[in-house]
C-alpha cells in the first residue's frame, strides 16, 4: 500500500514521455526546394562555360614551352616583347609619360651607337637622365635576368625602327658582347654621369 503511494508520487513528478509531434515541412518550402533543385540541375546542363575558346587565356604553344615572346618557328617578335615588357612605362607610342617616363621616340639614347641601348636594357638606369633636353629622375628596371640576348636584340631593333625612329637593327651578337663585357655589374647605370661616357 505504502509502496503503491510512493509509486504514485514518483509517477506524478515525472514528465510525460517525449513524443514526436506531427509538424510536416510546409509545402511552400518543399516546393521552393524542389524548384531550386530543378533549376540547379538544368543550369548545369544548359550553360556551357567551357565551350567558348575565346574566353580562355591567350597562351600560345610558345608560352607553354617557356619561351615568352617566341613565335612559332623560333623567331623572336620585338613588338610582342615591347608590348609585354616596356609598354607600361614607355607607352604604345614610344612617347613615354611627360615628366615620368622618357620617350623612346627620337631619343638620342635609343638612336646612339649599337652597344648603348643593350647596356641600358641589360642593367637599367637610376638617377638623373636627360632625354631630348628634358631631365628625368626615375628608375628603369634591369632586364638582364629576364630577357635573352635574342629578345633584347629584337625589342631594341623594334624600338629603333618604329615610333618614327630609323636606326640600324641590333643583333643578338652585339647584345651578347655587351652582356659579357659588363657581367660584373650589379647596379643600374647612374643616369647621365655614366651613360654619357658609354655614348662616345
Distance in Å, CB of 76 to ligand HEC, minimum: 12
Q: How far apart are CA 72 and CA 139, in angstroms?
A: 34
Distance in Å, CB of 74 to ligand HEC, minimum: 20
When asked if residue 143 is in the footprint of ligand HEC (CB under 6 A), the reply is yes
Q: What is the Cα Rg of the chain in Å?
A: 36
When asked if residue 139 is in the footprint of ligand HEC (CB under 6 A), the reply is yes
Stretch 117-136 residues interacting with ligand HEC (CB under 6 A): 117, 120-121, 125-127, 129, 131, 136
When asked if residue 107 is in the footprint of ligand HEC (CB under 6 A), the reply is yes
When asked if residue 187 is in the footprint of ligand HEC (CB under 6 A), the reply is no
Q: Give the chain's length.
A: 200
Of 133, 138, 171, the closest CA to residue 152 belongs to 171
Size of the site for ligand HEC (CB under 6 A): 30
Buried b (16+ CB within 10 A) or exposed e, 49-61: eeeeeeeeeeeee
Element (DSSP H or E) covering residue 153: helix 149-160
Per the structure block, which three cell numbers stand in for 198?
658609354
Distance in Å, CB of 200 to ligand HEC, minimum: 16
The correct pick among 159, 170, 175, 178 for binding ligand HEC (CB under 6 A) is 159
Report the residue number, 6 or 128, with the smaller CB distance to ligand HEC. 128
Three-class SS of residue 200?
Answer: coil
For 136, list phi and psi in degrees, rounded to 5. -115, 155
For 107, list phi and psi in degrees, rounded to 5. -75, 135
Stretch 25-84 residues interacting with ligand HEC (CB under 6 A): none
When asked if residue 138 is in the footprint of ligand HEC (CB under 6 A), the reply is yes
Q: Using CB under 6 A as the criterion, which residues of the chain lie in contact with ligand HEC when the complex forms? A: 85-86, 88-90, 101-104, 107, 109-110, 117, 120-121, 125-127, 129, 131, 136-141, 143, 155, 159, 191
Amino acid at each position: 500500500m505504502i509502496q503503491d503511494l510512493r509509486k504514485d508520487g514518483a509517477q506524478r513528478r515525472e514528465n510525460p514521455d517525449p513524443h514526436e509531434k506531427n509538424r510536416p515541412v510546409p509545402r511552400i518550402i518543399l516546393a521552393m526546394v524542389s524548384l531550386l533543385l530543378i533549376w540547379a540541375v538544368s543550369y548545369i546542363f544548359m550553360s556551357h562555360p567551357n565551350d567558348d575558346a575565346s574566353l580562355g587565356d591567350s597562351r600560345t604553344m610558345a608560352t607553354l614551352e617557356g619561351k615568352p615572346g617566341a613565335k612559332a618557328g623560333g623567331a623572336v617578335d620585338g613588338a610582342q616583347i615591347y608590348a609585354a615588357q616596356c609598354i607600361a612605362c614607355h607607352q604604345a607610342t614610344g612617347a613615354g609619360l611627360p615628366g615620368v617616363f622618357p620617350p623612346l621616340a627620337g631619343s638620342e639614347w635609343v638612336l646612339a651607337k649599337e652597344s648603348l641601348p643593350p647596356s641600358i636594357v641589360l642593367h637599367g638606369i637610376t638617377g638623373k637622365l636627360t632625354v631630348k633636353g628634358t631631365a628625368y629622375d626615375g628608375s628603369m628596371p634591369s632586364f638582364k635576368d629576364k630577357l635573352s640576348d635574342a629578345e633584347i636584340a629584337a625589342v631594341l631593333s623594334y624600338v629603333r625602327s618604329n615610333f618614327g625612329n630609323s636606326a640600324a637593327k641590333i643583333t643578338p651578337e652585339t647584345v651578347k658582347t655587351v652582356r659579357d663585357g659588363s657581367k660584373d655589374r650589379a647596379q643600374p647605370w647612374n643616369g647621365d654621369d655614366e651613360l654619357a661616357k658609354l655614348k662616345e
